[in-house]
Structure 1
Amino acid sequence: MYLEHPDSRQIVDAVRKMEKEDGDIVFIMMGENAGLDVGEVISALNRENIVFFGGIFPAVVCGDQKTEKGAIIITLPSLARPLLITGLSSGNMNFPDFREISGALDKQYTALVFVDGLTANISLFLQSLFSSLGNAVHYVGGGAGSLTLKQKPCLFTNDGYFQDAAIIAFIKLRSNLAVRHGWKKIMGPIVATKTDKNVVIELNWENAFVVYRRTVEETAGKKFTANNFFDIAKGYPFGMLTEGAEDIVRDPIMVNERGELVCVGEIPENAVLNILKGEASSLLQAADHAAKECLQNLGGGKVRVNLVFDCISRSLFLKNFSKELKLIQKQIASKSAGNIPVGALTIGEISSYGQKYLEFFNKTVVIGTLYE
């Protein structure tokens, strides 16, 4: 269900009226400018004894439209109450005992995973999660938060409203996942010779910004100033070299006073990087391919929902972002009649990547078709 300009009462009324079966949970995605009192929504839903989780995102997606003021509400069959993990930035994450969940996995079901997209140790969190469950489930989700890049509460469950946290919801549906980005190499490989979590300090033993600026200014034909870093850098992300697959994109969002590049998501020390460049045509083609891929080999299963988690910085780069959403909707409508893609523009995207591992992406579109 899509609500265009909801207030707290409308969200609670909508949830109350939705068809729900025993074991269902409610998933709520809100645009960051919806102006809702999230605490009031949490209290009201708790009074109704409704199990729920959700997040605040730069925008939500319904069909071929995005909005910063709307909300998406869906019900999903669940294996357990959503799990909340706090304190990601400290590295001291208290993971629950997953044995009960593992015992309920008679099929490869789906874990919806959402993080505060502006916190540290996201990759460490995902590594720990994957170490606990491996490929027993498919993983899909993204980073919540604000386009202002100011960290504040952005995730919520029955237990409250949180930042520096993650939510894991185990959904009793199978899923097909597609991950694509379309960015192309213009320079590399280079080595991230010194990093600190999501901060790149040195590239090839030189100051990171000096190396990055040298390539980007020459290619872009523009000079970095004190105020335009993100405007230029959004078109020139890093790509972490990945054998047999597209590079994993890391988005530099600011340069600090020491000339270090702050990225969304960690870059391991000695990671091999390329500098990438985007063209609208290649990004749109990637989204089209992702929408095709996620609808293949469903084995006759009934599609419940098509979830789209698309990077907010893709929308800023493409400008006419509705083209990407229209391509995705067209592909889904051709194979999954009556299903409108819904989701969010995220600060980083989360997905299983092949059969090997769980990854945090930037500037990428992730589409998950959840089916019975």
Structure 2
Amino acid sequence: MYFNTIGEISKHLEVSKRKDNEVLMVLVSDKSAGQVSELRDMLNRKEITFFGAIYPALLVGDKTHREGFIVQHFEPLYCGLVLPFMMRFPLEKEDLAGTTSIVLVDGLTSRFKDLTDTLEAKVGSKTKYIGGGAGFYSLEQKPCIFDNKGIYQDGLYLCILKQDVVLAVEHGWKQMEGPFTITKSKDNVLMQLDGIPAFEVYRDIIIEHENIRISREDFFSFAKDYPFGIEKKGEQSYIVRDPISVDNNEDILCVANLPQGYNLYVLHGNKDTLLGSSQLIATYCSYKAPEKYRPLLFDCISRAMFLEDDFEKELRNIQEKLKYQVEGALSIGEIASAKSGEIVIHNKSTIIGLVAE
């Protein structure tokens, strides 16, 4: 449910019947981030177990909200904070088939892959993962994951539900140039392609194809239209990576990791290909939907920037295919299980999950 104010949340909780093992998930739009301390105090006074994250915007039906809160009630099998290579997990991996794992993670952490690797090592690949990178619209990294005990940077929160999920992901971006080999990278920093500084390669491609000269200062305003695609063995489409800035060494900072030795393409798209991709997965989910379900949506912030006014059309296309109200967030990196069960970090993508009820 969407709420404009903390007072509305408090009134809702006063009249709702609380279950013994109930946990609240609270998604906060970044213009309401200054109220997170007040929100946490209110929920702690009521002795309610909760977790949540701050996102660039919230998605409700076919609308985008830069202010407010989404509150969802769960009865989870497990909830807990995960730090890189630090996680205690009491459940057996083999018992998690048919479950759903909701993942809220700091979208701008350089440890994104370390966090998902920790998750995969402890929780395994029987559960289906869905989630999104949290953070602020400004793309400035600040603490954005929270629970009863505090608010965290470089962290991940996991909530495992006993219900299954119908899951789909798409992006709509097409190959423009490549492949190049990633010859030097570290975590989410791309340094060299084919032994040449990555920014030089990228800048020259954009000049050649689009007659646009990009610089460090205006990098993201153009780069949001030309993401990277990593070619992964055994996969039929690219895993997209979002280039967001250039550092003092002229290395390119991206959302999530870029493994050395992989092939990389520069991608491009248009509004029709992006809108078509989200409509495709909404249609797929509607055909596979259980009788009753809870729709979750994580849609990339830079995708919304690219679509501009047509982003509302994307949300409308998705909502029209589903019989229950869609709720979710603009994300900085999207998380979904591959067919193999492996956790995959996506960028510039749309992820829909229909959690059975």
Same fold, TM-score > 0.5, yes or no = yes
Give the aligned partner of residue 84 of structure 1.
Answer: 81
Decide whether the 8 Å contact of 1:303 with 1:369 is kept in 2.
no
Decide whether the 8 Å contact of 2:58 with 2:70 is kept in 1.
yes
> What is the Cα deviation at residue 293 of structure 1?
2.0
Between the aligned partners of 1:227 and 1:283, the Cα distance in structure 2 is 27
Change in 2 beyond 3 A, CA 1:35/1:109: closer
Structure 1: 4+ residue segments shifted above 4 A: 101-104
Give the aligned partner of residue 370 of structure 1.
Answer: 355
Between the aligned partners of 2:13 and 2:352, the Cα distance in structure 1 is 25
Between the aligned partners of 1:79 and 1:70, the Cα distance in structure 2 is 28
Is residue 2:273 matched to residue 1:275?
A: no
Is residue 2:241 matched to residue 1:250?
A: yes
Change in 2 beyond 3 A, CA 1:205/1:142: same
> What is the Cα deviation at residue 121 of structure 1?
1.9
**Residue identity opposite 1:364 in structure 2:** S
Give the aligned partner of residue 322 of structure 1.
Answer: 312
Which of 66, 69, 72 aligns to 1:68? It is 66
Between the aligned partners of 2:281 and 2:352, the Cα distance in structure 1 is 7
Between the aligned partners of 2:338 and 2:317, the Cα distance in structure 1 is 22
Instruction: Give the match's secondary structure for 2:287.
Output: coil
Identical aligned pairs, as a percentage? 34
**Could you give the per-residue CA deviations for residues 335-366 of structure 1, whole angstroms, max 9, x where no partner exists?**
xx3x1100000010011011241111100000
Give the aligned partner of residue 303 of structure 1.
Answer: 292
Decide whether the 8 Å contact of 1:23 with 1:79 is kept in 2.
no
**Residue identity opposite 1:95 in structure 2:** M
> What is the Cα deviation at residue 219 of structure 1?
1.7
**Residue identity opposite 1:74 in structure 2:** Q
> What is the Cα deviation at residue 76 of structure 1?
1.8
Give the aligned partner of residue 55 of structure 2.
Answer: 57
Give the aligned partner of residue 157 of structure 2.
Answer: 167
Is residue 2:191 matched to residue 1:201?
A: yes
**Residue identity opposite 2:307 in structure 1:** L
Between the aligned partners of 2:38 and 2:284, the Cα distance in structure 1 is 40
> What is the Cα deviation at residue 205 of structure 1?
0.3
Decide whether the 8 Å contact of 2:301 with 2:331 is kept in 1.
yes
> What is the Cα deviation at residue 104 of structure 1?
6.0
Instruction: Give the match's secondary structure for 1:140.
Output: strand
**Residue identity opposite 2:200 in structure 1:** V
**Residue identity opposite 2:35 in structure 1:** D
Instruction: Give the match's secondary structure for 2:288.
Output: coil
Decide whether the 8 Å contact of 1:15 with 1:73 is kept in 2.
no
Instruction: Give the match's secondary structure for 2:343.
Output: strand
Between the aligned partners of 2:26 and 2:136, the Cα distance in structure 1 is 16
Give the aligned partner of residue 342 of structure 2.
Answer: 357
**Residue identity opposite 2:241 in structure 1:** R
Change in 2 beyond 3 A, CA 1:75/1:101: farther
Between the aligned partners of 1:226 and 1:119, the Cα distance in structure 2 is 21
Instruction: Give the match's secondary structure for 2:214.
Output: coil
TM-score by length of 1: 0.91
Give the aligned partner of residue 277 of structure 2.
Answer: 286
Between the aligned partners of 1:133 and 1:70, the Cα distance in structure 2 is 32
**Residue identity opposite 1:96 in structure 2:** R
Is residue 2:14 matched to residue 1:2?
A: no
- Give the aligned CA root-mean-square deviation in angstroms: 1.7
Between the aligned partners of 1:50 and 1:133, the Cα distance in structure 2 is 25
Give the aligned partner of residue 182 of structure 1.
Answer: 172
Moved more, 362-371 or 163-172: 163-172
**Residue identity opposite 2:295 in structure 1:** N
Instruction: Give the match's secondary structure for 1:266.
Output: coil
Instruction: Give the match's secondary structure for 1:327.
Output: helix
Between the aligned partners of 2:36 and 2:312, the Cα distance in structure 1 is 28
Decide whether the 8 Å contact of 1:237 with 1:251 is kept in 2.
yes
**Could you give the per-residue CA deviations for residues 19-71 of structure 1, whole angstroms, max 9, x where no partner exists?**
44332211111110025421221122112121111110000000000011121
Instruction: Give the match's secondary structure for 1:159.
Output: coil
Decide whether the 8 Å contact of 1:143 with 1:348 is kept in 2.
yes
Give the aligned partner of residue 236 of structure 1.
Answer: 226
Instruction: Give the match's secondary structure for 1:113.
Output: strand
Decide whether the 8 Å contact of 1:39 with 1:160 is kept in 2.
no
**Residue identity opposite 2:224 in structure 1:** K
Give the aligned partner of residue 302 of structure 2.
Answer: 313
**Could you give the per-residue CA deviations for residues 280-305 of structure 1, whole angstroms, max 9, x where no partner exists?**
1000010001112223334xx44231
> What is the Cα deviation at residue 72 of structure 1?
1.0
**Could you give the per-residue CA deviations for residues 258-301 of structure 1, whole angstroms, max 9, x where no partner exists?**
22111010101112111100111000010001112223334xx4
Moved more, 286-295 or 15-24: 15-24
Between the aligned partners of 2:76 and 2:89, the Cα distance in structure 1 is 17
**Residue identity opposite 1:251 in structure 2:** D
Give the aligned partner of residue 31 of structure 2.
Answer: 33
Change in 2 beyond 3 A, CA 1:163/1:76: same
Give the aligned partner of residue 97 of structure 1.
Answer: 89
**Residue identity opposite 1:342 in structure 2:** E
Moved more, 14-23 or 178-187: 14-23
**Residue identity opposite 1:265 in structure 2:** A
Between the aligned partners of 1:209 and 1:13, the Cα distance in structure 2 is 52
Q: How does 1:333-352 map to 2 (within 5 A)?
A: 337=323, 339-352=324-337
Give the aligned partner of residue 221 of structure 1.
Answer: 211
**Residue identity opposite 1:297 in structure 2:** K
Decide whether the 8 Å contact of 2:127 with 2:341 is kept in 1.
no
Change in 2 beyond 3 A, CA 1:111/1:276: same
Unaligned runs of 5+ in 1: none
